[in-house]
Structure formats: structure tokens, C-alpha cells
Chains A and B, each alone.
Chain A
Amino acid sequence: MLRFLLVLLAGLFSYADSISVEITPNRHAMVHERYSLSSPGEFVFLASAGVRVEKIQSAGGRPLEISGSGPWFTVRIPPTHAVDLIYEVVPMLPLPRTSGVPMVMPKHAVESVSVTITDFGSGLSRVSVPHLIRHPDSKTWSATFPAVPSHLQLEWETGNAPPAPSAGPAGLFAWNFWGLTGVLVTWTVAYLLWARRQAV
């Protein structure tokens, strides 16, 4: 009996990690995230071009502190056994044709997370990334993922083109990437020319 009660209590106070996103008619995203935490940890999100993350607060209405200069931002969450947070993602342009909705995510692996998107009259036509299943009512998309996606990419049939993403500092990336590509291409072409000449 005692064991049954303990299991029941544990069930009542534990959260299955889940993200619920509601799209409003003006294409704002109202996000509600719930995580059970074995230890307190930092939360982060990756800024998307053309949207702002606003009003991040706990479910009780307490505003949460954001720090960072982008593209990654840190959200400080008081130590607790579970996190229940709400925020709004606001497009910078009215009625964008595409929108990347950033997800505030714990800075560690989760077992799995279920994501549900519900459209309340915005005419959302597609969720291109990550891959979600569209329900027969055509207003709801859902899926379970092995990790929290950094953003949800939403698409509408009509609307304004979003601004191009601005590239921040990237260190030695360009040198590494284009240098590597150049070496691979040059090497292959030079070798094949040499090998053909050897063969003649």
C-alpha cells in the first residue's frame, strides 16, 4: 500500500519533458516547456534571424534572467526539481512567411522530449525542421525527439520574407572549411592527372 502511494506521489510530481507551442493568428509563438531535472542546470537558446524571444518566465509568472550577447543566450533558472517555463517568440516583421522559433533548452541531455505545435488560426502550412507528424485536424503537429531541437522552423503559404541571418564571428571556420575543400579538390585532380600520365 505504502509503495503504491509512493509511486502515485512520484507520478504526480514528475514531469515528462515536453514542449508545447501555440501559434497565434499574428504568427507569434507561445511556448510552454516542462522538464524534470535531476540537478539544477543552465538553460540556453539559440537566437533565430527575424524573431525575438520575450517574456521568459516560470509558470508562476516570475520573470527569468537572460544573459549573453548571442547567438546563444543563457537563461538562469533557480534550483528546483522541475522546470516549467513560458515565453513568447515574436516575429520582427509582421506576418513572416517562415519563422525559426528558438527553443529554450537545458544545457544537458534529456532522455526524450515530446513537442506539440498547435495552430490557432495563423494558417501554418508546414513545420520543415524538425520532422513532426501532422494530425488529421491539420492544426496540430507532434513528435518525440531524443534531444531538444534548437529551433522549430515554421512555414506559411504567404507572408513577408524574413531577414537573412546575420553571421557573427566564426573564428577560423572559413579558413578551415575552404582550405580543406581546396586541398581535397586540388589533391584529387592533381593525382588523377599524374596517375593518367603514369599509365600512358
Chain B
Amino acid sequence: MQTSALMLIATGFYILFVCAVGIWSSRKAKDEVGFLVAGRSLGPILGGATLMANQVSAGTTVGIVGFHYFSGISFAWTWPLTWVGWMVAALFVAPKMRNFAGVTLSDYLATRFQSESIRVLASVLILMGYTFLLSAQYQAGGLIFGMVTAMPYTRAVLLVASISFLYTVLGGMYSNAYIGLLKAAILITAYCCAIPFLLQQTGGLSSLAGSLYAIDPKLTGGWFSVRQLIALSLAVGLGTATAPYEITAFYSLASQRATRLAIGYSFLFQAFVAIGVLICGLAARNLMPYLSSPDLAVPTLGLHVLPPWMGALLLLAVVVTLTRTGGALLLTSASSFSHDVYLHFLRPKASEQEKLIVHRVMIGLLSLAPISIAFAKLDLVNFVILFAVKFLASAFFAPVVIGLNWSGATRAAATTSMVLGPAAVMVWARFQHPTLLGMEAAEAGLLANTLSFIAVSLAKPGIVSGRRYGSQLVD
């Protein structure tokens, strides 16, 4: 049987599984806390899979494979560099967030800085960033399905969006957690099968390295400079430490102990993925060196290089990856509006039943904008994702990480930094070559965010209105 037929059958089973998980989870998600943060019940392994599943998106399984395809091995160093961000989360963010026990990132910001305007600002920024991140997931899904099954791009985008919508609207965070565990299992299985086969077909690691070196010595050395790698990793890593959907995952864990351990299990899952995407990208360059787009590396491996069952498994892993990350993004962006704006300001006394209805309606409505952006195909998948990640990291890094650990942080500082950080990223993104002041957009954004946060806090210490509650959080 052909890979495309196997892939369609596997996707059919996946959709059935997703429906079953969604229906089962919907019985558990009886109130808002159940629906948005899984009743704060996730253990370390389920939590670790959830954290990994949030981070490993289409940007990883399609985009980073494409990066390795055209730039070689050096980009792989972004994994440990990104883990620095996870360490920041483990030491300074996750346990405190778990103790705070909110529902959204905006909950924390509004409480810490005692400002409802900060709640609205954060919700708007999350909506903006996650709309683009979601569109990238759908774009990758459209490309994959289009290439594998000859399905029209628009129909493929709609299919991927429908899967994400389906299980998220049914089971919320519970569904996301269980599909996250499935995602971890499928990714690890797919890479464990594909890596030996690809290495065998390319003559082994040394032979693969030799052929890449002969194409361009930078493929086996430093295509990206250390400075570029650090800048990129800072964006992704620090973005992860403060990413709204990871904060929601921290809220969902059963305890502080589970929170710390979950980050460790997420490292374990990520390590498999890191080596898997690296070998896939390098092998694709060796086996099909002149693809018209690096984003085609994974579908090409799945369809034309790996044996049919293995190819179908790899492609299914991609579909599960992008629909699962899509679900997390959808849940977080919907709750940032339904929980933080609609229910908080307009229906503060809504019943739990009404809250669930509002969240589900919002998930449906917020699916639409990313779909229309995905139809327009903005850029290479990973470039879209990197931009959105830089944008969000530059908005939330200082208010979350420093705000959680320094009682002197003020409301004005939080507002200023949440505006200046993303603004700097947008300005710097206009000047890519040469970069403005020699800085990458992520560096500029994080610097603007952090410096403005500290400077305004020190300059106007008298306007702290949330110091008492903020101090409790900090302590």
C-alpha cells in the first residue's frame, strides 16, 4: 500500500481517537478550571508531555528539519541554548505560577500589578501572537496534506484546523494533555524507526557528514554564528519560560513537585525530537539535495524515501504535532479573550455552565482568523513561528520572570515593557540585513522589554499599587 493511502488511514484513526479523547475529556471538564487547566491534576509524565507538546510544533517537525536541510548541523545547538529558558522557568517561574493557581497568564499579570488594563493589553498581545502561530501550524498542515494526498491546500488547511478545533472544543486542557502524550509517543517511535533507516541509506553518520561537508563546509560546522544561535535561542527559550500556553500548563500540574519533574520529562522528550529532526534534515539534504523549498524536506522523506509504513508514521507524527500545538494555541488564545475580557468584564457572575459555553464559542470564532492567514501563506513556516515567538517573548519576559522575583516591579513598568518590547521586535524586523545597531530582533525586543521594565520601576517606585499582593507572589 502507498504511503499516502496509509497516511490517510492513519489520519482517519487519529481523528477517531481525537474524538474519543475529546468526548471522554468533556465529561471530566465540568467547570472552567477543569476545562482550561485540567482541574490542576496533571502528573509529571503527562505534564512533561504537555510542556513538550506545546513547544514542539510545526516549526520543529517541519520548519527545523528545513533549517537543518539548508543550514546543516549548527542550528541544533539552539536546543540546549533554549533549555536555558526552561531552567529559568524551572527555577524562577513554574513553581511560583503553580502556587498562584490562576487560569491564564493575564490572570497573573493583572493580579501581580493590580491592573485591569494590563489584563486587556496582555490578552490583545496573546491574541496577536497566537493568531500568527496558529496560522503557521495550519500552513504547515496544508503543505503536508497537499503534498501527500494531492488534497487542495485550502481544504487541507481546513482539515487540520478542524482536528485542532474538535478535541479542544470538546475536552479543553484534558484533551490537550492526553493528545500531548500521544504526540510524544508517536514522535519518539517515528524518529526511532526513521533514524537507523536514514543513516543506513546515507552510508552512516561519517559518510553523511562527508557528503554534506563537500556540498558546503559550513553545513557540518558553523552556518549560524554563535551570536545568531544565542539570539535565536534567547527568543525561543525565554519565550518558552513565559509563553502563555506553558504558563497555562504550569497551572494545570498537580503540585510544585510535579511542575519541576514535568520540565525534566519534557527535556527527555525534546532530546529525542532534537536528534530526530537533525538526522531527518541532514539525510534529506544528502538524498534530495535540490528541493525547491526546505519545508518540503519532511514530506519528501515521508513520501519518497522512507518505506511506506515508516513514511506514514513520520507524516502522522507531523500531523499530530501541528494539530496538537494548534489545540494548545487555540485554547490559550480563546481563554485570553473569553476568560480575561468577556467573562471578567461583561459577565463576572456567569455560572460555570455559561463559562464553558463562552469558552467553546470563542474557540470556534478564534479558529477563523488563523485559517484566513494560512490561506495567504505568509513565509517559510519557521520564519512565521520565530517572529511570533520573538514578539511574545519581548512582551512578557520581564513582567513574568522579573515581576515574579522582584517586589519593586511596578504597574507602569509592566505596561511600558509590554509595549516597547514587541514594538522593538517589529522595528528590528524591518532591518534584517544589516540589522539595526548590529542587534537581532529578539535581542532588541528582550533588551527593550527588560531595560524599560527595570528603568521605569526604579524611576517611579511610588506608584506601586500592587506591592502587597505582588510581594506575596514574589516571596
Report chain A residues within 8 Å CB of B291: 109, 146-147
B436 within 8 A of A: no
Q: Which of B200-208, B323-331, B335-343, B382-390 sits within the interface?
A: B200-208
A188 within 8 A of B: yes
Tally inter-chain residue pairs, CB-CB below 8 A: 162
A25 within 8 A of B: no
Given contacts A72-B214, A165-B207, A180-B80, contact A187 B267 (CB under 8 A): yes
B76 within 8 A of A: yes
Set B74, B206, B221: member contacting A167, Cβ < 8 A? B206
**Nearest chain-B residue to A73 (Cβ)?**
B214
Q: Which of A6-14, A53-61, A86-94, A191-199 sits within the interface?
A: A191-199
Set A129, A147, A168: member contacting B214, Cβ < 8 A? A168
Given contacts A184-B274, A199-B261, contact A105 B289 (CB under 8 A): yes
Q: Is the interface of A mostly helix, strand, loop or mixed?
A: mixed
Q: Is the interface of B mostly helix, strand, loop or mixed?
A: helix
B12 within 8 A of A: no
Report chain B residues within 8 Å CB of A148: 288, 290
A121 within 8 A of B: no
A 65-107 binary contact with B (CB < 8 Å = 1; else 0): 0000011100000000000000000000000000000000111
A110 CB → nearest B CB, Å: 7
**Nearest chain-A residue to B3 (Cβ)?**
A131
Q: Are B267 and A71 in contact (CB under 8 A)?
A: no
A133 CB → nearest B CB, Å: 8
Interface magnitude class on chain A: 35 or more
B451 within 8 A of A: no
B303 within 8 A of A: yes
CA distance A133 to B304 in the complex (A): 10
Given contacts A128-B201, A176-B221, contact A71 B287 (CB under 8 A): no
**Nearest chain-A residue to B299 (Cβ)?**
A146
**Nearest chain-B residue to A44 (Cβ)?**
B289
Q: Are B220 and A150 in contact (CB under 8 A)?
A: no
Report chain B residues within 8 Å CB of A165: 203-204, 206-207
Q: Are A191 and B267 in contact (CB under 8 A)?
A: yes
B209 within 8 A of A: yes
B222 within 8 A of A: yes
Given contacts A167-B206, A188-B271, contact A145 B304 (CB under 8 A): yes
B210 within 8 A of A: yes
Q: Are B268 and A171 in contact (CB under 8 A)?
A: no
Q: Are B210 and A71 in contact (CB under 8 A)?
A: yes
A 169-200 binary contact with B (CB < 8 Å = 1; else 0): 11111101100110111011001100110110
CA distance A169 to B3 in the complex (A): 36
Q: Are B286 and A150 in contact (CB under 8 A)?
A: yes
Q: Are A71 and B80 in contact (CB under 8 A)?
A: no
Q: Are B77 and A173 in contact (CB under 8 A)?
A: no
**Nearest chain-A residue to B205 (Cβ)?**
A177
Which B residues are closer than 8 A to A by beta carbons?
A: 2-3, 73-74, 76-77, 79-80, 83, 87, 90, 147, 201, 203-207, 209-215, 217, 220-222, 257, 260-261, 263-265, 267-268, 270-271, 274-275, 278, 286-292, 296, 300, 303-308, 311
7 sample A-B contacts, Cβ–Cβ < 8 Å, listed by A number: A71-B210, A131-B303, A131-B304, A149-B288, A150-B288, A169-B210, A173-B213
Which are the 4 A-B pairs with shortest beta-carbon distances?
Answer: A167-B206, A170-B209, A165-B203, A173-B220
